[in-house]
Structure 1
């Protein structure tokens, strides 16, 4: 009965007034939350950032003082139980996602979790199942889908710019997982921590590929760790890397189109993001400055019919549809903010425009299929 009452209270608040947000992982020092979530939330009407929790009570107090947030909690469970919080935002490292999300769901709160949802396919499936039973709204931070260029690309394909899609090929640099790693970034080197080149930039990018062109029906894959030892920037300290820094996937989409995706660790002196879509009537090309599609600066070009050279197709202004975020267009916070604007609409109007936990679990099943295909040398059907 208590959980049902909390669910009703949270839903009513989200529908009738500002959505009270509590962020788990908002640090006074650095991190993704102050870089992206904070600037987005402070610009958007309809949200009220009311609470935070950090790694320790002391860290939470420091962050509360820095950002002017009075409700600084000593644990994720304490934040989730706060009656002022309607939406719990999970912005911590992947191994902590499960405990934070379960606490929020047990408290009957809506949840936005960073991608990937869980540390592996089993954990993601568990969280999606618990969320379905909890009866709250869940959202996953696959914000590349919100990028204006990606939405424009989806519409160009849907409107027949290329005709029937024959194939697509994508090559990208992972930016991290090269010869060096950032201080404090050693956790990204251990595949057991769940934050890898496959799960993060590949996962974000392949999710948008599926949004534009449809889901994979089958995959084959090759992965490798070509740099088993890397060095920390500044100190030169050596560290072992078990994460794959080469991920090459080929497969067939549900439409029958052939797909090829290759991610390389680090950055290239040549091409850091190149995506082609080839069809019976035309071709589309997307270029960017790196392979994290959720953050990259993108240029769309195309040609069709008798045209023989691709030309830039500027993204129309209608895709920049959240004016409160215009000053963030060149920042990582922009796509996060667009996603928040859609979450607000989903909560108030009952729409489903932002990927939920069930979607996230399905996407992690695709990544698991890639890993199984690479490990066995076989083609895996989805």
Structure 2
């Protein structure tokens, strides 16, 4: 409350655990201070809707920083400029890092969905938001979720714990002009690329890879058009860099701050966060229904 009331504070950043966002955000919003909140906005859709309602009339931003990153903005322009022609399909696969067969004390809370930090809400949510930034909103038509590892081992002590969060999330839907989209995230670390994203069209193909999470980077873009037999690297032009050359993982966050300061509306707000929470809720419900 004291921080929110301080006239010397220009922006309040909430970067605590998701289940503690609400307690930090409500005093800040009541004071009318601009707020940047880490993703996910809340522990679920209902909390996100409550926070967005409390924020009306206040400048807000949510930390879905992948869409602010230079490679993703460049990729969006490649698609808009017709690099692949008409988009026919896209396939994204990723590894969560967490939610695998072992866990650490620092991440024990991710085993319980009540804390709001799940494979679906965090890595899947960040990645699918970037997909939507590039190709348009994903309209999920079917989903599959599974908890294949209900008992996991502490990496140091060997203690066995119950895991109640899913470690497999698959969503199938449509984007753009009814292009077919498939997104599959699995729990656990990756051997090789942590993310692989293919976009195919009538006249070309793009391949996006990242060693870890898309919102952290670094991101590599390769493409091929028409008669190209090989994919070639497509370096991000310097004009897209708003981070003063900061390396990953700081770069995408710095890009988001720069865009927020510029005030051009490129950084998603709390209303956007509600739309994303609603999509993830639809996917979870479809997954449970089988």
TM-score range, shorter chain: over 0.9
What CA deviation, in whole Å up to 9, does each residue of 1:152-197 have, x standing for no partner? Answer: 1111101000000000001111111111222221011111110111
Note if 1:130 corresponds to 2:54: yes
Higher Rg: 1
Residues 321 and 111 (structure 1 numbering): CA distance in 2 closer, same or farther, change over 3 Å?
closer
Aligned equivalents of 2:128, 2:218: Cα separation in 1: 17
Stretches of structure 2 lacking an aligned partner (at least 5 in a row): none
**Equivalent residue, structure 2, for 1:11:** none
Q: Does the 8 Å contact 1:217/1:251 carry over to 2?
A: yes
**Equivalent residue, structure 1, for 2:288:** 375
Note if 1:104 corresponds to 2:28: yes
**Equivalent residue, structure 1, for 2:223:** 302
| DSSP-derived class of the 2:29 partner | helix
**Equivalent residue, structure 2, for 1:89:** 13
1:200 is aligned, of 118, 122, 125, to: 122
**Equivalent residue, structure 1, for 2:37:** 113
Q: Does the 8 Å contact 1:219/1:369 carry over to 2?
A: no
Residues 277 and 88 (structure 1 numbering): CA distance in 2 closer, same or farther, change over 3 Å?
same
1:226 is aligned, of 130, 141, 148, to: 148
What CA deviation, in whole Å up to 9, does each residue of 1:118-173 have, x standing for no partner? Answer: 110111111111111xx220000010112221111111101000000000001111
What CA deviation, in whole Å up to 9, does each residue of 1:240-287 have, x standing for no partner? Answer: 111111001111125201000000111233553110000001000011
Two-structure CA RMSD over aligned residues (Å): 1.3
| DSSP-derived class of the 1:283 partner | strand
Q: Does the 8 Å contact 2:192/2:211 carry over to 1?
A: no
| DSSP-derived class of the 1:185 partner | helix
**Cα deviation, residue 352, structure 1:** 1.2
Aligned equivalents of 2:251, 2:161: Cα separation in 1: 34
Q: Does the 8 Å contact 2:208/2:222 carry over to 1?
A: yes
Higher helix share goes to which structure? 1
What CA deviation, in whole Å up to 9, does each residue of 1:342-363 have, x standing for no partner? Answer: 11111xxxx3121000001001
Note if 1:152 corresponds to 2:74: yes
Q: Give the structure-1-normalised TM-score.
A: 0.74
**Equivalent residue, structure 2, for 1:4:** none
Q: Give the structure-2-normalised TM-score.
A: 0.96
2:103 is aligned, of 173, 181, 189, to: 181
Aligned equivalents of 2:68, 2:202: Cα separation in 1: 27
**Equivalent residue, structure 2, for 1:334:** 251
Stretches of structure 1 lacking an aligned partner (at least 5 in a row): 1-76, 378-382
5 Å-filtered alignment, 1:45-64, equals none
Q: Does the 8 Å contact 1:121/1:364 carry over to 2?
A: yes
Q: Does the 8 Å contact 2:145/2:169 carry over to 1?
A: yes
